Chains A and B, each alone.
Chain A
Amino acid sequence: MMRVGLIPDEKGGTYRLAMLALSCLGLLIAALPVVIVVIMSFAGSNRPSFPPSSYSLRWYGDVLHMLTTADANGGQSVARALQTSLLVAFAVMVISAAVCVPLSYAMARGPARLRQTLEILFTLPLVFPLVMLGIAFLLMAEGMKLDLGLWRLIIPHVTLVLPFVMRNCQSAMAGIDPEVEEAARSLGAPPWRGFLNVVVPMMRPGILAGLIFALIISFNEFTITFFMYTIDVNTLPIWMYSRTVSSLDPSVLALSVFIILADSALIILTDKIVAGKASLF
């Protein structure tokens, strides 16, 4: 129907063809590695060859076995790494949301000059090279001889997710009219009740999206953790890396499929929560 447009529906000639071909190439590059990992996780043989000569679920059995039985060398157990990953991601999620909700309120209702400063400050971690963040935190923790336990990972991960959670909360705040609080106050509610009982519930989609984002980013983080991990504190990506330094272990591919499924479900959930009202980034 549409003869004009960014990609015309018909009669686009070489233009339409080129645009669609490039789009397909882009999608292929974006998704192909993930698709291949999923296919190869069902391969029956030990050595990865494509297409797989036989299909089986043996690697999935391996993963379940690894997850349910205690490994002899405790520091390298996948169950412990998964537990650490989840603990860190959960803490990062709670902390970042708890600090970003009041922050976004202050940015929306406070003086404009303050908002601009805060906006720059809380976007900085986004443009700071990850490898330098990892090294800086490592040098600091080692230099000051701090024994931080799980906080070794939680503190840098919070830094990393702050820009994303802040933006989600900010776009949630943007849609809330100051009049709703004034209405609450004229009915006799003190300011903090107006904030907690009226504004926060209205911000819920944005806060939820921010929470899920924090969870995904922290759970999948590799670079910073690569510098900060210790024998006692290491996450699932680090366990996977140490397992595959010399050769590719097919059971890691099966584990990857679980992570891919969890991540995809979380993105779709976030996309549904935000429901086209705001962009994810």
Chain B
Amino acid sequence: MTSRLDYKPAVLLSTPALVAIMPFLAACLYVLRFSFSADESSIAGFSVSSYQALADTYFLSALGLTLKLAVFSTVLVLVLAVPLAFLLATTRSPFLRRMLTVAILLPMILNLLIQAYGWIILLGPTGVLNTVLRSTGLITRPLFLLFNETGVLIGLVQTALPLAVFPILSATRAVSRECLEAAASLGAGHWRTLFDITLPVLRPGLIGAASIVFAFNASAFAIPLLLGGRRVQMLGVVIRDMISPMFNWSSAAAAGVVLIAITTLALVLASWATNRSAKKEVR
């Protein structure tokens, strides 16, 4: 008499969940199949022409822009997320910690539209930031921070920040106080300790966080749509335009497969890098 389950009852108990996820799996296969369709607007025959059509400059420049913004935003997010995770880890008061958690989680939980409205009011030509800077005399002409790459980059950093803070926070548990004290007693300064001890210990968490942020931002849609104002053609927006004004469904599917391949590759590379550094430590 044990509480272990055999294969049969375990599969039976998972069946409702498997049924619930079935449409997702069907959708994945549908997109893959559509990308190889010979016809643009329906599934018919086999052809790689949709992939060949992607080799034009329009798609390639969108791909380049997407990779650039995803890399920049990942670097910026990590620079901000590490101190925030440290702050959360060292905050003693439960109330303060709860407030910090809510503030950091907000961008992840809240309707993306509301956040975009906030940025539009803040960064617009007659927005808060420009008004403040002009009234202090720092600038004479308004800065263009919205409906260009700068605006999208700021939005990407904001929405992806919680995705990085929480994995790094759980990674900080591996940083022992004894180790930090030992470093201090040997005369290492705070910066030296950060770069020689803390960050190397955090490396698996950092790699994981970076890959999630990269994958998330490479496939961003709402932020470039709302803050890019049609001028910042990231892949998500380009794919949507293939569907809606252009009705080229098979190319949209092919571009989507490329996007999925990029995000998957980032995650696979990250887990490979983590495993490799773990093996190195054992040796």
Cα-based distance from A117 to B145 in the complex (angstroms): 46
Q: With CB as the reference atom, state the residue of chain B lying closest to A253.
A: B117
Known contacts A103-B16, A124-B24, A135 near B3 by CB under 8 Å: no
Check A133–B240 contact: CB distance below 8 A.
no
Check B27–A137 contact: CB distance below 8 A.
yes
Q: C-beta contact mask, A238-281 vs B, less than 8 Å → 1, else 0? A: 00110010001000110010011001100110010000000111
**A121 on interface, CB distance cutoff 8 Å:** yes
Known contacts A106-B5, A139-B31, A240-B113, A30 near B107 by CB under 8 Å: yes
**B120 on interface, CB distance cutoff 8 Å:** yes
**A72 on interface, CB distance cutoff 8 Å:** no
Cα-based distance from A110 to B7 in the complex (angstroms): 7
Within 8 A of B (CB), among A11-50: 12-16, 18-20, 22-23, 25-27, 29-37, 40, 48-50
A106 to chain B: closest CB distance in Å? Answer: 4
Cα-based distance from A226 to B225 in the complex (angstroms): 11
B210 to chain A: closest CB distance in Å? Answer: 14
Cα-based distance from A177 to B277 in the complex (angstroms): 34
Check B181–A114 contact: CB distance below 8 A.
no
**A95 on interface, CB distance cutoff 8 Å:** yes
Q: With CB as the reference atom, state the residue of chain B lying closest to A33.
A: B118
Check A222–B112 contact: CB distance below 8 A.
yes
A25 to chain B: closest CB distance in Å? Answer: 6
Q: Residue among A8, A16, A36 with the most chain B CB within 10 A?
A: A36
**A99 on interface, CB distance cutoff 8 Å:** yes
A-B contact count (CB 8 A): 305
Within 8 A of B (CB), among A123-149: 124-125, 127-140, 143
Choose one: B17, B102, B121, B181; the contact of A271 (CB below 8 Å): B102
**A5 on interface, CB distance cutoff 8 Å:** yes
**B184 on interface, CB distance cutoff 8 Å:** yes
Check A159–B10 contact: CB distance below 8 A.
no
Check B118–A36 contact: CB distance below 8 A.
yes
Binds B, one of A59-67, A75-83, A181-189, A200-208: A181-189
Known contacts A237-B113, A268-B98, A6 near B80 by CB under 8 Å: no
Q: With CB as the reference atom, state the residue of chain A lying closest to B250.
A: A139
**A86 on interface, CB distance cutoff 8 Å:** no
Which residues in A have their C-beta under 8 angstroms from that of B83? Answer: 7, 18-20, 22-23, 26
Interface residues on B, range: 35 or more
Cα-based distance from A15 to B252 in the complex (angstroms): 48
**B280 on interface, CB distance cutoff 8 Å:** no
Cα-based distance from A216 to B6 in the complex (angstroms): 35
Cα-based distance from A3 to B183 in the complex (angstroms): 12
Check B263–A129 contact: CB distance below 8 A.
yes
Check A4–B181 contact: CB distance below 8 A.
yes
Cα-based distance from A103 to B3 in the complex (angstroms): 15
Q: With CB as the reference atom, state the residue of chain A lying closest to B237.
A: A131
Q: With CB as the reference atom, state the residue of chain A lying closest to B30.
A: A140
Known contacts A6-B175, A102-B14, A129-B259, A29 near B157 by CB under 8 Å: yes
**B219 on interface, CB distance cutoff 8 Å:** yes
Check B104–A27 contact: CB distance below 8 A.
yes
Interface residues on A, range: 35 or more
Q: With CB as the reference atom, state the residue of chain B lying closest to A140.
A: B30
Cα-based distance from A36 to B121 in the complex (angstroms): 7
**B260 on interface, CB distance cutoff 8 Å:** yes
Check A27–B84 contact: CB distance below 8 A.
yes
Q: C-beta contact mask, B166-206 vs A, less than 8 Å → 1, else 0? A: 11011010010100110110000111011000100000000
Q: C-beta contact mask, B97-110 vs A, less than 8 Å → 1, else 0? A: 01011111111011
Q: Residue among B30, B43, B111 with the most chain A CB within 10 A?
A: B111
The 8 closest A-B pairs by CB, nearest first: A33-B118, A110-B10, A129-B219, A15-B190, A136-B27, A178-B3, A26-B80, A6-B86
Binding site for B on A (CB under 8 A): 3-8, 12-16, 18-20, 22-23, 25-27, 29-37, 40, 48-50, 95-96, 98-100, 102-103, 105-107, 109-111, 114, 118, 121-122, 124-125, 127-140, 143, 155-156, 158-159, 162, 166, 178-179, 181-182, 185-186, 216-217, 220, 222-223, 226-227, 237, 240-241, 244, 248, 252-253, 256, 259-260, 263-264, 267-268, 271, 279-281
Q: Provide a sorted-by-A list of 30 A–B residue pairs whose CB atoms are within 8 angstroms.
A: A4-B177, A4-B184, A6-B89, A6-B175, A20-B83, A23-B84, A26-B161, A27-B103, A34-B106, A34-B114, A34-B118, A37-B121, A109-B10, A110-B9, A127-B263, A128-B260, A135-B31, A136-B28, A136-B31, A139-B30, A140-B30, A181-B3, A216-B109, A223-B222, A240-B111, A241-B113, A256-B117, A259-B114, A267-B102, A268-B102
